[in-house]
Amino acid sequence: MAVKDIKTWILMFLLFFIIFAASITNFFPSVVETLGYGKVRSLFLTVPPYAIATVLSCLNAWHSDRVAERYWHITIPLCFAVTGFIIAATTESVAPRYLSMILMLSGLYPGFVIALGWISSTVRRPLAKRAAAMALITAFGNSSSIYASFMFQSQMAPRYVLAMSVCSGAIVLALGCTTVLRFVLVHHNKRTEGTGAAGGPAVDFKFPI
């Protein structure tokens, strides 16, 4: 049932592309070190981007739940993330590159947590179907780290042009998946509104979009 549901496949690729771009977090201290401040100071400089991303993730998740909306709470943060990757790939100036690092994490994490929560509210029941879908989506999404781990090589520093470009492309594809899923859910909700009067199939709930 999970495999036959088109929403499962869209969510699989959505999480795949976001986690692919988020692979930078595995090498974040090395990326920050390219600013030229040494190992100890570089480790301290990794703290603010994560702290900001944590606060924004909580605020974004809280507001998304409050207004029962998912699409814009994913796409807007991801747009900031792709901006960060583009800045990092196009300049070697210290201030813009550190700003880009903040934008990367501040966009990826808030968008990711909403996308992850979208799974359970989109593939809702029966429970066995939802469990299988979450397992498939999580396993497939994390498989992106297999290739992503080869992109951040020391000889590509400081701009890591290839890695930043591929991550930017992954986010664009994630935005495409999010948009497609939104259209699917809007169509489903319209069928819900027409149930009975239009003689449509019986659907007893609406998806948050």
Distance of CA 116 to the CA centre of its chain: 8
72-86: average pLDDT: 97
Cβ neighbours of 116 (radius 10 Å): 19
Tell me which architecture the domain covering 6-144+157-182 has in CATH.
Up-down Bundle (1.20)
pLDDT digits (tens, 9 = 90+) for 158-208: 888 999 999 999 999 999 999 999 999 998 888 777 654 445 554 456 788
Residue extents of the structural domains in the chain: 6-144+157-182
The C-alpha atoms of residue 77 and residue 91 are separated, in whole angstroms, by 22
Which 8-state DSSP code applies to residue 136? H
pLDDT in tens, 43-58: 999 999 999 999 999 9
The model's pTM is 0.89
